[in-house]
Structures are given as structure tokens and as C-alpha cells.
Amino acid sequence: MDKKSIITGLIYGIVSNTLGLFVVCFTTAKIAGRSESTLQVLEAAVSENFIGKLISLGAIINLICFFYFIRKQKDGHSAGILIATILIAVGTFITKL
């Protein structure tokens, strides 16, 4: 594994988690039947202190990316995604304190 592929995987992991967070917020807004936007759901999550739960749900896309890169035998990318997931888990744990 070279450093370039690990860093690329780390970037993939962070971007996919961010994308997953927005998908979860969009889905939450639509299921609730409200006409709120994704940003309003994020603001409500921060004010009501459940942003960690949304971030954790957004990390599900990291799982899909991880197994995709494992299947394609790109271990460096998979390691980067795993590192990103661990960093996100530590970040959400810190926000819970």
C-alpha cells in the first residue's frame, strides 16, 4: 500500500460520509412530510443535539465504498476509508461528551 492510495481512500471516505449525511437529512425531511430543506434539518439536528446520529447514519455509505474497494483489490483505498470511518466515529464520540 502506498501513501497516495491511502490518502485517496481517506478523501473518498470523508466525501462519501458527507454525501451520506445529506442523503439522510434529505430523507428525514421527506419522511417527516415537512417542506424543510436539508440545511434546516441540519440546523435542527445541531440545536436539538442529535447531529451525531445523523453523521453515524451517513457513514453507511462508507461501508459500501469499503466493500467495493475490497472487491476490486484496492487495499490502500480500503484502508483510507477505514481510517476516515474511525476518525468520524471518534469525532461523533467527542461531540457526545
Identify the band that residue 30 occupies on the pLDDT scale cut at 50, 70 and 90.
Answer: confident
Phi-psi region of 33 (alpha: psi -120 to 50; beta: other; left: phi over 0): left
* pTM confidence score: 0.84
Give the chain's mean pLDDT.
88
- Amino acid occupying residue 77: H
Q: Is the pLDDT of residue 80 over 90?
A: yes
Q: What is the pLDDT of residues 40-75, one digit of tens each?
A: 888 888 888 888 888 888 889 999 999 999 999 999
Q: Where along the chain do its domains lie? A: 3-23+49-96
Cα separation, 66 vs 70, in Å, equals 6
